[in-house]
Structure 1
Amino acid sequence: MSVANQSTPPGECPQCWQHAHDPRAHRNLRPREDCPQCVDHMVNGHPNIVPRKSRWW
């Protein structure tokens, strides 16, 4: 997931960003099969969002 961390824009979750933009993330799934990582992430939230730069600083 280090590639996602480098290219993830501020304010976005690296896992969500990678799974949305990297076709390799879901290549092992059958058609219409849910990704277990995505389902777990939707249920448990986004613990690793890349912080945005504040306009106040």
Structure 2
Amino acid sequence: MPAKPVPPGECPQCWQHAHDKSIHRRLKPREDCTPCIDHMVNGCPSLVPKKSRWF
């Protein structure tokens, strides 16, 4: 099954990990995904906060 295309403005890694179940299938029960943990701790490097319309 081909991977879903990443929408503009979305992090490719976050999108792939959310929609491709085979990535996490290789993990043991209660084992954490290292790239996902890194994203949660350090933030997503691909996303830039959008400017607010409020002054």
Same topology, TM > 0.5: yes
> Structure 1 stretches (4+) deviating beyond 2 angstroms?
none
Q: 2:36 aligns with which of 25, 35, 38?
A: 38
Q: Determine which structure has the larger helix proportion and give its number.
A: 1
TM-score (norm: length of structure 1)? 0.65
Q: CA RMSD in A?
A: 1.7
The amino acid across from 2:18 in the alignment is: A
Higher relative contact order (CA 8 A, sep 6+): 1
Q: Percent identity?
A: 67
Query: Which secondary structure does the structure 2 equivalent of 1:25 belong to?
Result: helix
Residue in structure 2 matched with residue 22 of structure 1 by the alignment? 20
Q: Which runs of 5+ in 1 are unaligned?
A: 50-57
